[in-house]
Structure 1
């Protein structure tokens, strides 16, 4: 924009000095006329400057829109159970609350409820891992709006000191869909400051 202002001012200055009888050659106006008056040339240059300014404004609006779209596409979170000891077993299925948040772009994950609410519609990747002692079963499911999507689990085995499990899925969500990890009745998991038991979600692209 600054360069265009300089060009415009320079042309106007040239026009003022080009001719005592306020006429300038076509090379200045560039509109197919043999000669044009200073007033006409100034008007034409003003119009062209306005058009260029409008185009630049439109381009800047497009750039700003792309920036907003790009920023909206950045959705991801990762959190750990961070419970020192076992969680469960319970007599009924329970939502696992991963309280220790590593990252939470767009704040879709609520570490007080364990629920991720999709801030935008898109295709997401979810991953969850668990560590458990062998004395009880360890079954967990990722649910979408209360419906099970995928599960990881390990049956009760008193001969094993511990067990580990993991699962992942790519799934399309609508804005406002609710994702959470549910611990099955009679199951337990374990965690401490080493962060064995985690829940992660990443938006791959919007739709």
Structure 2
């Protein structure tokens, strides 16, 4: 902007110099008072132009300063937003961990696996007999009793139960019953006379209310076998709560 002002001043001075070098006839024909007035008027106009340009320059500088201030403010706000975003992300991670912890706390851990006995054959029995699995392999949650042979549901949910048994069949029937609250849910059996070892295995998912009981039963006239190798087992665990 200052360079522009200087160029205007030089342009005027150049014009005045050109006027002073004009022919003697021309000079004599001009009134000295008129020339002086023209120069004074031009200088006044230049001063006004310079003043106006200075005002515009000041306004431009003020506007630039304001823009810089606003830019600095926006950058500060942007940094604050970034910090807030990092804080929100950290809080989100903490919340997710707390939710997972609550889920784990709300979902009880229930699982058991037991075996029948070490003494060999059981049966044939004369009446339906509830089986008492005396050998506890796993009993997380302590929902199975090796005194009664019953599993008692600690929470409302869906549970999975599986059982396996063995016998040596020689014109005998091998069978076993899965019961819920004393009622038969599933009965599986096998008959053969080859005298070889045979296994039965099955399972079911059951929806249970708190306090419902599940157990295995040996029907009248049937026989099963177990020993230290745990051929006859009963297993169950909670799939999910309801």
Q: Which TM-score applies when normalising by structure 1?
A: 0.66
Partner of 1:110: 145
Report matched runs for 1:83-94 at 5 Å.
83-94=118-129
Gaps of 5+ in 2: 1-90
Q: Does the 8 Å CA contact 1:151/1:167 hold for their aligned counterparts?
A: no
SS at match of 2:106: helix
Q: Alpha-carbon deviations, 1:163-198, whole Å to 9, x = none?
A: 210111111111110100000001111011111100
Shift of 1:78: 0.3
Distance 2:132 2:168 in 1: 19
Q: 1:170 aligned to 2:208?
A: no
Shift of 1:112: 1.1
Q: 1:81 aligned to 2:111?
A: no
Shift of 1:63: 7.1
SS at match of 2:238: strand
When structure 1 is superposed on structure 2, of 118-127 and 130-139 the one drifting more is: 130-139
- Distance verdict in 2 for CA 1:89–1:65, change over 3 Å: same
SS at match of 1:103: strand
Q: 1:141 aligns with which of 162, 165, 177?
A: 177
Distance 1:67 1:158 in 2: 51
Q: Which has the higher helix share?
A: 2
Q: 2:190 aligns with which of 143, 154, 163?
A: 154
Partner of 1:125: 160
| Runs of 4+ with deviation above 4 angstroms | 59-65
Distance 1:202 1:102 in 2: 13
Considering only aligned residues, what root-mean-square deviation do their CA atoms show, in Å?
Answer: 2.3
SS at match of 2:105: helix
Equivalenced residue count is: 150
Shift of 1:83: 2.7
Partner of 1:44: none
Partner of 1:69: 106
Gaps of 5+ in 1: 1-54
SS at match of 2:210: coil
Partner of 2:50: none
Q: Which TM-score applies when normalising by structure 2?
A: 0.57
Distance 1:61 1:201 in 2: 29
SS at match of 1:109: coil
- Distance verdict in 2 for CA 1:67–1:164, change over 3 Å: closer
Q: 2:229 aligns with which of 167, 186, 194?
A: 194
Q: Which has the higher strand share?
A: 1
Shift of 1:67: 4.1
Greater Cα radius of gyration, structure 1 or 2 = 2
Distance 2:178 2:217 in 1: 6
